[in-house]
Each structure stands twice: as C-alpha cells, then as structure tokens.
Amino acid sequence: MTSSTELFHPLVTLPEPVRQDRYNRLVGLDDVKIRLRKEAAVLADPAVLSKWADTHHRALPRVNAAFTLLHDRAPLLLFAGDVGSGKSALAESFGCDLAEFLDVPVNLFRLKLSARGTGHVGEMTALIDEAFEQVGAEASLGRTASGKLQAVTVLVIDEADALVQSREASQMHHEDRAGVDAFLANIDRFAGTGVPLLVVMCTNRLTALDPAVKRRAAETFMFGRPNEDQRREVLTNAFDGFELTEDTIEKLVAATGERGSGHPGFTYSDLTQRLVPTAILTAYPDAAITADLLITVAEDMGPTPPFTDVAAS
C-alpha cells in the first residue's frame, strides 16, 4: 500500500485562516464563487435540494426525475483557463465557504504529480486506484449511518492534463491510456452514491483532457484574465488605505489592460503577486507609493504571456 505522504500533500481541514484569507482575496470572481457553492453543495449533500423543495415546491415528491438527474452526476468539477487566473487558489480555498454553507468541516486532499508514476507497466493505474481508495475511505466517514452529513472531502488535482490527457493523442503511451481508464472507473464508482466527495481538476489545457473526462464533469468553470471592472476591484482592494485617488486607480486599470490585438492584459496573479509587491518594494524604504510610480511599474512589468491551449494530436 502506498503511503498518503507519497500520494498527497499534507491534509488540511477547512476552514483555516490561510486559505480563508486566500478565498477572501479572490475578488472579481463572485459569479464563479456563487455557482461553485451551489454545485459543490448539491454534489456533496443532495439533501439540500429536499430542504429547498420544502420551501419552494411543497407538492414535489421527494423522489423525482429532476433530483435524480442531479444526484447521478459524477462528483467532478473542472477549473480551466489561462495561467494566473485563480484556478488553483480557488480550488484549494472554496472549501472554506462550503464548510460554512453546509456547517461541516471540509477535508482537503491535494494529489501530487508523483501519482503518474515512473512509467512502469501498471504503476500509474495502481497509484490512481490507491489514491481514490484513501480519499474514498475518508469521504465515506463524512456521512453517518442515518445519512446525516458530518464532513465533506475535496480532492484537488492540479495540472490535470498531465494525468488524464486525451487517449486520442497519437503519441500517448499505453500506460497513460490505462491511467485515464483507471481515473474514469474511480470517478464512476462514486457517481450517485451520496458519498460526500468532490474531485476538482485544474488545467491550463482543457482541449488536452480526455473527452470522457470532460463529459463526466458536473460543471466546467472557465477562468479568464480580469476585465476592467475586475481589475478595478482587485486594485482598489489591494491599495486600500494608501490614499490613492480614483483617477490614479483608473490610470492603473488602463495600464494593466489590453495593449492592442494579441496583447492581453494582466492576469490576477500579475496584479496580486507581481504588481503589488513590486510597487511596494520599489517605494520602500525611502519613498511613498505614487501614481507615477505605479504606472511606471505596471508599464515596465507587462503581463504574463498567454498560455496557448492546443489540442492533443
């Protein structure tokens, strides 16, 4: 049996301060957060639909076609989009919001890329099976014998295209194909069971994922670069208290936006992990942050080049 430390990063129980703060700082993603909360809650605990129906559709029978369709979906969510768009940060932190919404703890597992194995025959399949066995065992403890929800388990798989690349790719190795088959079999094993497990896969290359994986996803969330309103919200929040004028913020919004065709604006991580720290450290320790300093830093820095999502061939 493979140890959990070989397959997963350290287990985290949510909510916890670091990831709660990370979730709160993901501004500009409100629509995604709201839809994600609904999808995750219904997949983890279908009983929430009964509570909703008791309020809004009292004549609705507890067993009905609409609820069955929702209940039978695979517990799989896909997060896809450009680099630095907040996919991984949200995947590892939305459990804080879900824990509060459902009033139960959320156990966060994060799969290591070592689960792909080293290429030996049968190794990748065995590692994927073992990973799901361990996560599934934990998830099964999340519901009492009477059916009451007491915990939710979330498995995050980052760089998912490295694990479940399309089997249609001509150069794909047999071992990789077997690994995709194993992943699909394990996802299907939990569909419709009521086990409070959510699998979240993040990728920059949605077209590279196996079509069967994409078909099984209960929802695919697309992440892009922040638009003007989203950049304004990020920057206003980040520089709150620095006494910057609205005009300065607007100039910075423009400076971090698109620069003509084929030249996209800043990503979320460009704004929060590059621009803000660089601006502060440029001013520190002898000067104040000014409009000119911010614009100069933004123009000198430039955005991260976009990731090209090319289908496997």
For 66-100, b where at least 16 C-beta lie within 10 A, e where not — what string? ebeeebebbbbbbbbbbbbbbbbbbbbbbbbbbbe
3-state secondary structure of 197: strand
Domain end, chosen from 186, 201, 223, is at 223
Domain end, chosen from 223, 257, 286, is at 223
Domain end, chosen from 203, 223, 243, is at 223
Q: Domain containing 21 — which CATH number?
A: 3.40.50.300
Q: Facing residues of 223 across strands?
A: 81
Written as one string, the DSSP assignment of 104-144 is S-EEEEEB-GGGG-SS-TTHHHHHHHHHHHHHHHHHHTTB-
Give pLDDT, residue 5: 78
Residue 288 falls within a domain, yes or no?
yes
Residues 153 and 237 in one domain: no
Residues 129 and 147 in one domain: yes
- Single-letter code of the amino acid located at 69: L
Residues 208 and 236 in one domain: no
Residue 235 falls within a domain, yes or no?
yes
Give pLDDT, residue 313: 47
Residue 11 falls within a domain, yes or no?
yes
Residues 36 and 134 in one domain: yes
| Domain count across the chain | 2
Starting at the edge strand found earlier in the chain, the sheet holding 106-110 runs 12-14, 106-110, 152-157, 197-203, 76-81, 219-223
| Domain interval for residue 40 | 4-223
Q: Are strands 12-14 and 106-110 parallel, antiparallel or unpaired?
A: antiparallel
Q: How far apart are CA 275 and CA 297, in angstroms?
A: 7
Residues 49 and 142 in one domain: yes
Q: How far apart are CA 293 and CA 122, in angstroms?
A: 56
pLDDT by 10-residue block (mean), the chain, 313 residues: 82 98 92 97 93 89 84 96 94 98 98 77 87 97 96 97 82 80 96 96 95 97 94 95 95 91 89 96 96 95 80 49
Give pLDDT, residue 65: 87
Residues 159 and 288 in one domain: no
Give pLDDT, residue 167: 84
Residue 308 falls within a domain, yes or no?
no
Residues 176 and 295 in one domain: no
Give pLDDT, residue 170: 57
Give pLDDT, residue 113: 82
Residues 219 and 232 in one domain: no
- For residue 224, count other CB atoms closer than 10 A to its CB: 13
Residues 216 and 253 in one domain: no
Q: What is the radius of gyration, based on Cα positions, of the chain?
A: 22
Sign of the alpha-carbon torsion through 188, 189, 193, 198: negative
Residues 204 and 233 in one domain: no
